[in-house]
């Protein structure tokens, strides 16, 4: 993965950024889920970077594994025009106090929700039994109302888990890696693993990449007119749909061993500080071009 600082000048010349896609936890938001939190303290830089994005006329879209209810108020606070929830299963457009919810086609499972269909299928129980001691529900968030995903944590080989699902008749489902949680055995005593990751069990076709593709299509945005800032393999996998993916420094361990695209770049700083480093050059360029 190449360093963003070494390639920003060429990216500024080649990209005409109009939309900034951003992950929340571990990216825009720091430890504890605060916009102002950084490791070891606080900083106004992330909030100032969000302000600079909006002042430059760029559009902010949040993409997260959180539920719709969990993202809604955060999206309002940061001025996002839209957000993708549950790792891309739901795309929600904000128009004042009114929301337009667009459900990705593959999450429509008869009369009920995809989450209900997954629950009825027993696929989550199958994985929990298959990876006993290595996988558990991501409590308490796994037990919130979810519409198109089941939330798990632990450590497993994603490709192996996908093969296990197919072999057990669950080929309509996928497992997505949404990054590393801080803490290991001490924080999660029920897991016999040293590194704990968040996984989403979703219908095949649900992903941050698919949500970004859908949003770009609906709004007529070219890939070169957008960037994504994130911290996980699910963010890096969206690289074909944006001009560049910027990975905050704390996301580097989650991508060790991953085969990432050439337009995925590593930032020098963590969390919201890395977000600021990624977006401020594009915000300044946009303001220069507009003459403001």
89-127 pLDDT per residue, tens: 999 999 888 899 998 777 765 567 889 999 999 999 999
Mean pLDDT of the chain: 94
Is 46 found in the same domain as 11?
Answer: yes
Closest CA to 255 of 180, 194, 201, 202: 180
pLDDT at residue 201, as a whole number: 97
Is pLDDT at 292 greater than 80 in this prediction? no
pTM: 0.95
| Domain limit, last residue, from 147, 180, 203 | 203
Structural domain total, the chain: 2
Q: Which tens digit of pLDDT belongs to each residue from 225-234?
A: 999 999 999 9
Pair 41, 88 in one domain: yes
**Can you give the pLDDT at residue 104?**
77
Structural domain containing residue 166: 107-203
Count CB-CB contacts under 10 A for residue 145: 10
For the stretch 180-190, pLDDT in tens is: 997 666 889 88
Same-domain pairing of 130 and 247: no
Q: In what order do the strands lie in the sheet with 135-137?
A: 135-137, 150-154, 196-203, 173-181
CA distance 80 to 73: 10
Distance CA 31, CA 58 (A): 26
Q: How confident is the model at residue 158 (pLDDT cuts 50, 70, 90)?
A: very high
- For residue 24, the domain's CATH number is 3.40.50.1000
Q: pLDDT digit string (tens) for 36-54?
A: 999 999 999 999 999 999 9
């Amino acid at each position: 993965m190449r360093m963003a600082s070494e390639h920003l000048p060429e990216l500024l010349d080649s990209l005409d950024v109009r939309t900034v896609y951003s992950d929340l936890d571990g990216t825009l938001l720091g430890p504890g889920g605060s916009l102002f939190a950084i490791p070891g303290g606080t900083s106004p830089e992330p909030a100032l970077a969000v302000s600079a994005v909006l002042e430059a006329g760029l559009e902010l879209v949040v993409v997260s594994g959180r539920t719709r209810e969990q993202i809604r108020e955060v999206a309002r606070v940061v001025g996002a025009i839209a957000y993708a929830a549950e790792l891309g299963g739901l795309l929600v457009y904000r128009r004042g106090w009114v929301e337009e919810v667009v459900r990705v086609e593959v999450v429509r499972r008869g009369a009920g929700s995809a989450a209900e269909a997954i629950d009825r299928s027993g696929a989550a129980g199958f994985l929990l039994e298959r990876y006993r001691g290595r996988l558990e529900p991501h409590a308490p968030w796994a037990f919130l109302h979810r519409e198109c995903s089941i939330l798990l944590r632990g450590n497993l080989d994603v490709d192996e888990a996908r093969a296990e699902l197919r072999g057990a008749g669950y080929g309509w489902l996928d497992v997505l890696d949404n990054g590393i949680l801080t803490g290991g055995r001490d924080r999660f005593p029920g897991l016999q693993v040293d590194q704990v990751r968040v996984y989403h069990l979703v219908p095949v076709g649900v992903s941050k990449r698919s949500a970004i593709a859908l949003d770009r299509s609906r709004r007529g945005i070219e890939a070169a007119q957008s960037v994504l800032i994130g911290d996980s393999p699910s963010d890096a996998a969206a690289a074909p749909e944006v001009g560049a993916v910027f990975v905050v420094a704390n996301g580097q361990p989650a991508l060790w061993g991953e085969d990432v695209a050439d337009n995925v770049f590593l930032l020098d700083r963590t969390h919201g500080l890395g977000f600021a480093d990624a977006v401020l050059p594009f915000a300044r360029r946009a303001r220069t071009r507009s003459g403001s």
